[in-house]
Amino acid sequence: MKIVTLPMLRPGVDPILAGRLSGQRAFVVTLEQFPELAEPALVVLDFAGVDLATSSYLSELLVPLRDHLRLRRQPGYAVAANLSEKVREEIEEMLRRSGDAFLTCATDASGQITDVQLCGRLDDKLQETLLLVSRKRETTAAQLYEESRTVDMVGATAWNNRLASLAAKSLVVEILQGRTKKYRPVLEVA
């Protein structure tokens, strides 16, 4: 999958990102500068150099940007990278309040992705589903249903809903092959 890196700290901007209005402006600027995708891409939101980003700022930028990119014709799967301890705390707090989750990672000088983590929280069933998708590397709702129907009394529709929910959070990639949707992890969580 192609990787698009977007710096969250722009030249001449204070390394403290605060306020709802500033977050809304950053969302608009990011979309204006976002390249047109010819294929699905991993979008690395690079927080290198950001000392602090408040939850009010992040709530106007991070999740709305993830949701917008995910719904494009060629989807982008957003992850937050290179977070300072303070930025990670603010993201965790924001996600805890909203009951959401977001992938985070670090990148090295060559752009290699390391230290992938799930920030925030998922309910138990979504967490279980994400682990199953990670173990299998690629799966369908029908496959998960067939493998679990003797253990779990959950139908194929429930598996479909769980997988769609994980895809909406940019935790799994949704691949349409004919009438079948396959799912694979966006990144492997450490």
User: 53-82, pLDDT tens digit by residue?
Assistant: 999 999 999 999 999 999 998 999 999 999
Q: Give the percent of the chain with pLDDT over 90.
A: 76
Strand partners, 45: 6, 80
Looking at per-residue confidence, does 12 or 36 come out higher? 36
Q: What's the pLDDT score for residue 190?
A: 64
Residue that the structure tokens 């010819």 belong to: 38
Averaged pLDDT, 101-106 = 96
Instruction: Determine contact, residues 56/91, Cβ cutoff 8 Å.
Output: no
Nearest-5° Cα angle at 96, 92 to 100: 95
DSSP 26: H
Q: Give the percent of the chain with pLDDT over 70.
A: 97
pLDDT at 145 over 90: no
pLDDT-derived band at 150, boundaries 50, 70, 90? low
pLDDT at 167 over 90: yes
Residue that the structure tokens 């990144």 belong to: 187
Each as own residue / partner, the long-range contacts of residues 21-27 (CB below 8 Å, 24 or more positions apart, any chain) are 21/60, 22/57, 22/60, 23/56, 23/57, 23/58, 23/59, 23/60, 23/61, 24/60, 24/61, 26/57, 26/60, 26/61, 27/60, 27/61, 27/64, 27/65
pLDDT-derived band at 110, boundaries 50, 70, 90? confident
